[in-house]
Amino acid sequence: MGLTIGIDVGGTKIAAGVVGPDGTIGARAVRDTPANSVDDTAASQIAAHEVEAVGIGAAGFVSSDRSTVLFAPNLAWRDEPLGTRVAKVLKIPVVVENDANAAAWGEFAFGAAKDVEDMVCITVGTGIGGGVVNDGELLRGANGVAAELGHMRVVPGGHLCGCGARGCWEQYASGRALVREGRARAESGSLLAAQMLSVCGITDPAELTGPMITQAAAAGDPCAVELLEDLGHWLGEGLASIATLFDPTMIVIGGGVSAAKHLLMKSAQVAFERNLPAKANRPHPTFGVAELGNDAGLIGAADLARRPAPAPEKTR
Give me the residues that bind Zn ion (CB under 5 A), please: 151, 161, 163, 165, 168
List strand residue ranges (DSSP E) for 59-203, in order. Answer: 61-62, 69-72, 77-80, 94-98, 119-124, 128-134, 137-138
Cα distance between residue 32 and residue 283, in whole Å: 45
Instruction: Label residue 313 exposed, middle or buried (CB < 10 Å: 0-12, 13-18, 19+).
Output: exposed
Minimum CB distance to Zn ion, residue 145 (Å):
13
Cα distance between residue 142 and residue 190, in whole Å: 49
Q: Which is nearer to Zn ion, 152 or 196 (CB)?
A: 152
Q: Which is nearer to Zn ion, 172 or 272 (CB)?
A: 172
CB-CB neighbours of 309 under 10 Å: 11
**DSSP structure string for 19-34:** E-TTS-EEEEEEESS-
CB-CB neighbours of 233 under 10 Å: 20
Q: Which is nearer to Zn ion, 95 or 178 (CB)?
A: 178
Minimum CB distance to Zn ion, residue 265 (Å):
24
Q: Which is nearer to Zn ion, 171 or 214 (CB)?
A: 171
Minimum CB distance to Zn ion, residue 155 (Å):
11
Minimum CB distance to Zn ion, residue 171 (Å):
7
Minimum CB distance to Zn ion, residue 95 (Å):
26
List strand residue ranges (DSSP E) for the chain, in order. Answer: 3-9, 14-19, 25-31, 51-58, 61-62, 69-72, 77-80, 94-98, 119-124, 128-134, 137-138, 250-255, 286-289
Q: Which is nearer to Zn ion, 34 or 150 (CB)?
A: 150
Minimum CB distance to Zn ion, residue 227 (Å):
21
Q: Which is nearer to Zn ion, 168 or 231 (CB)?
A: 168
Contact, 99 vs 297, CB < 8 A? yes
